[in-house]
Amino acid sequence: MKDPRFPELTQRQISILKGYGTVEKHPSETKIFSLGDLQYDFFVVLNGEVSIEDPYNENEVIVAHQKNEFTGDSGMLSNRGAQFHAVTKGDTTVLRIAPRKLKEAIARHSDISDVLLNAFLLRQETVLSEFTGGIKLVGSANSKETYAIRDFMDKNHIWYNFLDVDTSDNALELLENFNLSKEDLPFLINSEAKVCPNPSLEQLARYSGVLMDFEDKVFDLLVIGAGPAGLAGSVYAASEGLSVVTIDSKAPGGQAGKSSKIENYLGFPTGISGSDLANRAYVQAQKFGCNISIPHKAEKIEHTGNHFVLYATNDKKIKTKAIMAATGANYRSLPIDNIEKFEGSGVYYSATGMNAASCTNELVGVVGGGNSAGQAALFLANHAKEVHVILRGGDLGAKMSDYLVQRIEAAENILVHLDTEVTELHGEYYLESLILENKSGERTEKKITNLFTFIGAKPCTEWLQDLVVTDEKGFICTGPGIDHKHLHKCAIYSEREPQSLETSIPGFFAVGDVRKGSVKRVASAVGEGSMCVSQVHRFLADLKDVEIVEA
């Protein structure tokens, strides 16, 4: 049976693709792209062989593409760098297609799109799960700075190899070989042995190609936030021909991206992790031509009258006719004085595969009573000695789906503490224990070394600076229920009410968890993001009518 990661294109598909590229003959061995190349080309083997080689492991051959097979992975749809070398062997003929032309072909030919994207996703999954290599990250597993970089790379599906100075002799040797001290931690090493001490997320994002540049023009739509709502809006808007740019401050997925397994999302009977769901949507949006760049955090926004200007981190200024705010909400920190000391070194706000290793045979705490807390508890129970679910209320099923409640109650190593709060955290350098206190005032010390908190929801709306109307908690108000005295005085709102997802300024929309009155579920967020696109179309038509009248 043919390996689905390395399918063959049909002659008809190759004939179509020839219209998007050029045929090249290589009579002798030639490197056609190298590790780290950004915007590297796509190749179809017409005759001969193309070898994919791993420079991190002495150019070991990963796969040899034969006639009618093709190179590439899902990183080709963005600006991500090549992860391997590609070398023609012997007398080889290839079809070379530039990334921009490849996107055109994928958008226009569904059968080619299906073959390529299925293979790309499977290849990415294989590299991340089965190969040791990629960028070397050297640091301490108990370091907040190291955790932030690992978290960013994990959630953005960047291939890397972590070496822990607390447990690895190899890591200590690298410190010595590069004449570095522990003050330089964490540091990155690429395949050419170039070192970057104390890297910023921007440096890492630029090197890996996650942070990308795009045209300086007025886009039809800017989506701020790449959670389920923002990604759904990105997919639908781009697929309907709008020029779209999407930004996020951290990674695709939002709160849902932190869920280890979502089992009640339509169409996935065995469940899917939030990270995998987000990554598929991330690829899907780019397939239709959406520009996605990470990390960009919204800092300030201006409304000029006929378009918006967003100022974001990493020196980005984006102009757009319409905005879809999908910035979501962050979990709140526990009200404990020294909690910042342990964030990233014992206190976490998501439970991913990276966290699982540090929880092996340990006591673990999960604070919260929503679905995210329940999913985290069940995931961590597969690794930890005990998982303690800590809930301030008296009913586990008050906000958690019943299927999660039943599984938690059936798990032998999950203990539920109702009417209980975490009141103290202890540890010299990282979390070593904590104090639980119930409503009767009874205090208990637990040797919990990893605490995961999923409480509250603080909307990410600081960047708005009162441009649009929000409620007293900061959630964005939308729809015809907004008080007329707060509506922007303009030609559009003199003719109609705000649409259901439109704010006090026409063309500014809010979807998902950041919107007042939204249902905090993945499916509803996807629905809002998708539905919003039809309202964006109406606004753009209204804007065009106003411009014609004013002209």
Domain ranges of the chain: 11-130, 135-208, 219-328+460-550, 332-457
CATH number of 11-130: 2.60.120.10
What CATH architecture is 332-457? 3-Layer(bba) Sandwich (3.50)
CATH number of 135-208: 3.40.30
d(CA 334, CA 286): 37
DSSP 80: P
How many other C-beta atoms lie within 10 A of the C-beta of residue 166?
Answer: 11
- Reference 64, options 92, 37, 41; nearest CA is 92
pTM for the full model? 0.91
**Tens of pLDDT, residue by residue, the chain (551 residues):** 689 999 999 999 999 999 999 999 999 999 999 998 888 999 999 999 999 999 888 899 999 999 999 999 988 888 788 999 999 999 999 999 999 999 999 999 999 999 999 999 999 999 998 888 888 999 999 899 999 999 999 999 999 999 999 999 999 999 988 998 888 999 999 877 889 999 999 999 988 889 888 888 999 999 999 999 999 999 999 999 999 999 999 999 998 888 888 988 999 999 999 999 999 999 999 999 999 999 999 999 999 988 999 999 988 999 999 999 999 999 899 999 999 999 999 999 989 888 888 899 999 999 999 999 999 999 999 999 999 999 999 999 999 999 999 999 999 999 999 999 999 999 998 999 999 999 999 999 999 999 999 998 899 999 999 999 999 999 999 999 999 999 999 999 999 999 999 999 999 999 999 999 998 889 999 999 999 999 999 999 999 988 776 65
Q: 């350098």: which residue's tokens?
A: 429
**Is the sign of the CA dihedral 132, 295, 356, 370 positive or negative?**
negative
Q: What is the pLDDT of residue 549?
A: 67
Full DSSP string of 286-301: HHTT-EEESS--EEEE
Q: What is the pLDDT of residue 550?
A: 62
Give, in degrees to the nearest 5, the angle at Cα 77 between 280 and 13: 95
Task: Say whether 332-457 and 219-328+460-550 share the same fold.
Answer: yes
Q: Which CATH class is domain 219-328+460-550?
A: alpha beta
- Identify each DSSP E strand in 339-419 by its residue range: 347-348, 363-367, 386-390, 414-417
